[in-house]
Amino acid sequence: MISKAMQDGINEQINKELYSSYLYLSMAAYFENKNLPGFAHWMRVQEGEEREHAMKFYDFLLERGGTISLKAIDAPPAAWKSDLELFKEVATHEAKVTGLINALYELALKEKDYPSQVLLQWYITEQVEEEKNAAEIVASLEMIDRHETAVLQLDHRLGKRGSD
């Protein structure tokens, strides 16, 4: 049986993961409206991952005999000043999620909840990747803003070395 504190923390995290899903879905719509289907696709894939993350917590809580308590999901923003500003928000958001996961892990340590610690290790590793992906896109968009698109094209070509 899972403790009430862990149950409450996981329920809160389910809400945060579902908000992340909503946020990325809103960002996908923003890019669709700008006729940027590649960016929109990236956001839709991200949205699906966040929904999967929520469901992983959901299923875990049920497996541990916990009670699911779904709360209202805040509405995400629908417009951004620029593509770069949007991806800076992605980076900031992923850093915030990392902090939430870390706090939940600290709670699992305090509660001596070993199964939750194991689950949360997966999320900790996942967040490293999420933050890295966001930072790389922000860096690329900053290069584009500096009119260094030729460098990005060359980088893309060099990245295919050995894969032909």
> Which residue range(s) make up the domain with 44?
4-159
CB 140 within 8 Å of CB 150:
no
Overall domain count for the chain: 1
For the entire predicted model, the pTM comes to 0.90
In-domain check, residue 58: yes
User: At 55, which CATH number?
Assistant: 1.20.1260.10
**Across 76-82, average pLDDT:** 97
Q: Which of 2-16, 123-137, 149-163 has the lowest mean pLDDT?
A: 149-163
Asked, for residue 164, whether it belongs to a domain, the answer is no
Please name the residue that has the structure tokens 């928000």.
Answer: 89
Per-residue pLDDT tens digits for 53-67 = 999 999 999 999 999
